[in-house]
Amino acid sequence: TIRTVHAVEILDSRSRPTLSVTLAAAAPGNDDIVIRTGVPAGASTGSREATELRDGDKDRYSGQGVLKAVESVNGEIHERLAGHEFPSLAELDHELIDLDGTTNKSRLGANAIVGVSIAASYAFATAERQQLWQSFFGFVGAPDLPVPHFNVINGGVHALNELDFQEFMLAPIGAPSIAEAVRAGSEVYSALRSLLHSRNMSVGLGDEGGFAPEIAEPEEALDLLVEAITTAGYTAGTDGVAIAIDPASSEFYSDGTYTVAGKPFSSDEMIERYAEMVKRYPVYSIEDGLSESDWPGWQRLTSRLGDTIQLVGDDIFCTNPGIISEGIDQGVGNSALIKVNQIGTVTETLDAMITCRDGNYTQFVSHRSGETPDTFIADLAVGTGAGRIKSGAPARGERVSKYNLLIEIADDNRELPFGLG
Ligand code: PGA
Ligand code: ZN
């Protein structure tokens, strides 16, 4: 039985307001359960994401305040849930969806709803005397410790440099365990820092804790990564540390043209550039290589490279089971990024993952560029057996909290496998 749900406006890792949600519940045979969770927030958002409610009051936080979303939780959502008993998380989530009544959660705010849904998922697990990750058993796949993807060079809207591509990630696919994968990420991150410093380049950080050097061409970033990987003593490739990129290209696409380092590219020219990158560098995964509004380009990209590498849809799918289904039918990509706040409830997120599984798409669990120390996504990735997770650099509290929980889960459960699955 839910006793209370309560929210308050706090700060995320980017110094923007977000919600802290506290849920109190009573379960038969248990002490009272009190859960507190923080809500993530993106910067390069897909246009079909569930709608975050922001106040728009320019006198507070440049309009970014979330007092209206806080009021959704403390008013309507509290009134609807308090005193009620829910047999499952799915039923509670559907109650939230019905209460909001819109298709994109814009009335109460997806940021309000997702905070309550995540807190409720912890409460259900606690009531069943399970770890959160164990409560996801049986929904998607067999549990597994995912390969961490460390975003060590930041560009796009996550940094103020001239680099248009948003994320350059280290994927220690060849590591024997999560602890060794984290060690590889950290050692290469340190090597990269020294390398940048030795070349008189900035070691200032972007929003996800990666470096934001003054480079513009994506290939310069790839050269730096390969050098850092080898300097740190690892093999650059899928038998050691591979590279995954997220250009987040919707951000530099307009009217049929992609603008990279000041030069215009058509969809087909971008596809050729990616094909060349995959040949020259150990790039095994490309996310949002083309824009969310360029479905024909995505189809050609998928026919060209879909058998060779992972092609992840983030902005184009928005963790939306319906859009992912369309993508599967139309041959768009072969993987989906999974962000709980893009769709707004844990139940719908699991539906998106099931849709991927049934369509043979891989599932890539993700944080947002604005985070709190909350570790929900680490549990989600383990319990669903997604096989891949990205939570930014192997540095900064809100990023490493997720990686550290993976190491702790591995230590407590020695039988859990590690890897892409
Ligand atoms: P966001 O970026 O959280 O700022 O949307 C993450 C991503 O594009 O994967
Ligand atoms: Zn992305």
Q: DSSP for 302-319, please give it.
A: HHHHTTTSEEEESTTTTT
| Cβ-contact 147, 390 below 8 angstroms | no
| Cβ-contact 337, 349 below 8 angstroms | no
Give the tokens for residue 138. 């049986």
pLDDT reading at 299 higher than 90: yes
Q: Which ligand is nearest to the CA of 287?
A: 2
| 375/13 Cα distance (integer angstroms) | 14
Query: Which is the closest atom of ligand 1 to the Cα of 369?
Result: 3
The partner residues of 247 in beta bridges, in order of sequence, read none
Please state, in angstroms and as integers, the Cα–Cα distance from residue 221 to each residue in 199, 217, 242, 405, following that order. Answer: 13, 7, 14, 29
Based on its alpha-carbon atoms, the radius of gyration of the chain, rounded to whole angstroms, reads 21
Location of structure tokens 């026919």:
303
188-216 residue pLDDT tens: 999 999 999 999 999 999 999 999 999 99
| Cβ-contact 152, 213 below 8 angstroms | no
56-98 residue pLDDT tens: 999 999 999 999 999 999 999 999 999 999 999 999 999 999 9
**57 residue type, one letter:** D
Task: Give the Å distance between the CA of 312 and the centre of ligand 2.
Answer: 8
Residues 20-29 as b/e (b if ≥16 CB within 10 A, e otherwise) read: bbbbbbebee
**Residue 28 confidence (pLDDT):** 84
Location of structure tokens 């041959």:
331
Predicted-assembly ipTM surpassing the 0.85 threshold: yes
| 277/288 Cα distance (integer angstroms) | 15
| Cβ-contact 138, 102 below 8 angstroms | no
pTM above 0.90, yes or no: yes
For ligand 1, mutation pick of 287, 367, 369, 391 (most atoms within 8 Å of CB): 369
| 365/356 Cα distance (integer angstroms) | 12
Helices (H), 73-177: 78-81, 89-100, 110-127
* Residue 161 pLDDT grade (very low, low, confident, very high; cuts 50, 70, 90): very high
The question of whether 208 is a catalytic residue gets the answer yes
| Residues 6+ away with beta carbon under 8 Å from 75 | none
- Environment class of 2 (CB within 10 Å of its CB; exposed 0-12, middle 13-18, buried 19+): buried
Give the tokens for residue 129. 């005397």
**Residue 31 confidence (pLDDT):** 84
Query: Which is the closest atom of ligand 1 to the Cα of 157?
Result: 4
Which residues contact ligand 1 via a Cβ below 6 A? 42-45, 166, 246, 248, 314, 337, 366, 368-369
* Residue 167 pLDDT grade (very low, low, confident, very high; cuts 50, 70, 90): very high
| 225/209 Cα distance (integer angstroms) | 15
| 419/421 Cα distance (integer angstroms) | 5
Task: Give the Å distance between the CA of 393 and the centre of ligand 2.
Answer: 15
315-343 residue pLDDT tens: 999 999 999 999 999 999 999 999 999 99
